[in-house]
Structure 1
Amino acid sequence: MTALSRYARLESTGRWRAAPGEGGREVVVSFGHATLVLADGSGLPLAHWSLPAVTRLNPGTRPALYAPDEAGSETLEIDDEIMVSAIETVRRSVARARGGPHRLRRALWPTLAVLAAFLGLVWFPGAVRREALEVVPLSKRTEIGATLLGHLQSRLGPACRDPLGAEALQQLHDRALGQGGHAVVLPLGPAAPLVLPGHIAVVPRDLVERAAEPAVVAGHLLAAEATLDGDDPLGLLLDEVGVWATLRLLVTGNLDPAVLEAHAATLLAATPTEPDADLLGPAFAQAEVPLAPWALDLDPTGDTVEDLVAADAYAQAEAPILISDSEWVALQGICQGV
């Protein structure tokens, strides 16, 4: 299954109940060959569920509740937004495959008609790009972001998943970038935080562990988004893949997996943008995050970041508390055991 291959490297935690009425145990959930693999913390597989048979017991409700069959003899509870999106994408792919060749032929003519319309009416690359950014829904952006995250994990290691640390990181993400997104810490990079389509933020482990206070991590998240200068992470991807790949996304809803892997490599190789005090000052003030701690993390001497320190809205005032001391300790230990 093409959809399955996109998520082969994704993992998340879940709560598995082997029989109704059990208290359940925490497991690591990953994709196998046409299966959903449930393993304990040491990596020992506990169960393999056939992906074509996996059933969602509570559509539209979180945490998502899955079973290996309609009887619900076993259940798996997942609260990880990225993994839930990936499972739902694979389930939809299976459902489409079951429609058979007749359904494919019926869908072909509308697809060709849409393609012809776009070739005739939306020819220029700029117009195609704008159209894509307007019509591609959040669910598809999250799917694209999850695929990119999978490629990053293949190079930088699986996401750190200490539950308390992940919760604290999510609080900083929501404070800096707003709700509706997700943040992960990868053990071996990237060089600077990244913002992927679907509001997925990627933070390197060393940044979290060296930071003097929560405002440093929140500041790096803010800077990662602010340096996009109002652009969309999906827009950066479309600029790289070109007009024909963008048209394919508009018509079929898909991008070639190879171009997503190439874009992940581009993101890792990119040089971090030089900070701009005029751009970052208002962004930090709006999020109510002090700017000076982040600036001094870039240059502890302060010599090269004087303009950033001067732009701090809290230079002469007490900065707000972003997370508690215990949450900060948990966040700095998010990669324990990795």
Structure 2
Amino acid sequence: MTALTEFQRLEAQGSWRETPDARAREVIVSVGEATLTLMDPTSDRPLSHWSLPAVARLNPGRLPAIYTPSASAPDETVEIDDPLMIEAIERVQRAIATHRKAPGRLRGVVTVLAALAMLAALVVWLPDALIRHAASIAPPAQARAIGHAILTDMERSAGPVCRRNSGQQVLDWITPRLLGDDAMVQVVPGPLNGALRLPGGLFVLGHDLLAASPGPEAGAGHLIAASLAVEDRQVTLDALRHAGLMASLRLMTLGTLPREAMAGFGEAMLAQPNPRPDLALIPAAFAQRGLSTEPYARSMDPTGATLMPLIEADPMRGAPMRDMLTDAQWLALQQICAG
């Protein structure tokens, strides 16, 4: 917008003051396409760059012409007495004034396109932002209700939750040690190849793991691994993304989800590979609970070949092992799906 179509580069001498109290300094003033550059005449080193649209003249009609990079803060000035340079700068000022008075079709088109771009961004960004907000503010009771809704959907494929009281009592007793006081573990008869984390601190364990293991250590390891693999907030967010924007808005305003909001989500989780944590995180987490990593590793690979680093990093190797459960407790847990 310089209005200097016949010039590729225009230069003239000038007298520059960096501040009102500074000594005047001889400079070369160069007009580019969008900037006014002040350079040291001995080294061609740029001393200052001014934006042409912002340049203002402090003494219209008088010579030498005095310019400043900003009319609102005219501390820095340059004096120019070259008529061609003055005319070039004045031409820019006239072009800018004309452009401001008559924005024209181009500015209107740009404004409309910018508005459309903002609208498109809102359409794309806003729904997910609201869903993420709903997931972040959901209290524990709401998150647990979402978890149970997912579990209900899982029951279509994995079978109804095993509810034998003696086995559930064992789970309720051992869960705080493994996952914290607010966690809850449920067992389903169908195979899960381990454990899954659901919203609200709800964990699901497949009975196939209990039936195939010589002790509770493998199942305990899978529960800990599930807690490390994904955070509660993330699994809640995944669930609400499945439920959609309107269901998430209802959760925020009424505190409940529509009855069928989680339809298909639990079965989709079962159809995907279980999330696995970074193997490097496992030994420390198991050590905090006095748990060996080997039963967990061998439950996934009986040979141990693919998980040898995890076996070798066993924090309990060489340490005296205490039974997690008594024989009676382990038997009750294995029979949680019986009857």
Which TM-score tier does this pair reach, normalised by the shorter chain?
A: 0.5 to 0.7
Match of 1:178 in 2: 180
Match of 2:329 in 1: 327
| 2:307 equivalent among 305, 308, 317 | 305
Q: Which amino acid aligns with 1:193?
A: A
Q: Please state whether the residue corresponding to 1:257 is helix, strand or coil.
A: coil
The answer (yes or no) to whether the contact 1:160–1:186 under 8 Å persists in 2 is yes
Tell me how far apart the structure 1 counterparts of residues 329 and 313 of structure 2 sit (CA, whole Å): 28
The answer (yes or no) to whether the contact 2:297–2:311 under 8 Å persists in 1 is yes
Q: CA deviation at 1:244?
A: 4.5
Segments of structure 1 that go 5 or more residues without pairing to the other structure are 1-119
Q: CA deviation at 1:291?
A: 1.2
Deviates more, 1:311-320 or 1:242-251: 242-251
Match of 2:154 in 1: 152
The equivalences for 1:78-97 within 5 A come to: none
Q: Please state whether the residue corresponding to 1:184 is helix, strand or coil.
A: strand
Match of 2:225 in 1: 223
Tell me how far apart the structure 1 counterparts of residues 304 and 150 of structure 2 sit (CA, whole Å): 35
Tell me how far apart the structure 2 counterparts of residues 305 and 124 of structure 1 sit (CA, whole Å): 43
TM-score by length of 2: 0.58
Q: CA deviation at 1:186?
A: 1.0
Q: Please state whether the residue corresponding to 1:185 is helix, strand or coil.
A: strand
Which is higher, the Rg of structure 1 or of structure 2? 2
| 2:235 equivalent among 208, 233, 236 | 233
The answer (yes or no) to whether the contact 2:196–2:274 under 8 Å persists in 1 is no
Q: Indicate the RMSD between aligned Cα atoms, in angstroms.
A: 2.3
Q: Which amino acid aligns with 1:256?
A: P
Tell me how far apart the structure 2 counterparts of residues 278 and 243 of structure 1 sit (CA, whole Å): 37
The answer (yes or no) to whether the contact 1:309–1:315 under 8 Å persists in 2 is no
Change in Cα spacing, 1:216 to 1:152, as seen in structure 2 (3 Å) is: same
The answer (yes or no) to whether the contact 2:167–2:332 under 8 Å persists in 1 is yes
Tell me how far apart the structure 2 counterparts of residues 249 and 208 of structure 1 sit (CA, whole Å): 36
Encode CA deviations 1:137-156: one digit per residue, 9 max, x unaligned: 11111222222222222332
Match of 1:290 in 2: 292
Segments of structure 2 that go 5 or more residues without pairing to the other structure are 1-121
Q: CA deviation at 1:274?
A: 4.5
Match of 2:260 in 1: 258
Encode CA deviations 1:216-254: one digit per residue, 9 max, x unaligned: 110011111211167532122134344454333222323
Change in Cα spacing, 1:148 to 1:274, as seen in structure 2 (3 Å) is: closer
TM-score by length of 1: 0.58
Change in Cα spacing, 1:319 to 1:230, as seen in structure 2 (3 Å) is: farther
Match of 1:45 in 2: none
Match of 1:69 in 2: none
Change in Cα spacing, 1:290 to 1:126, as seen in structure 2 (3 Å) is: farther
Aligned length: 216
Q: Percent identity?
A: 32
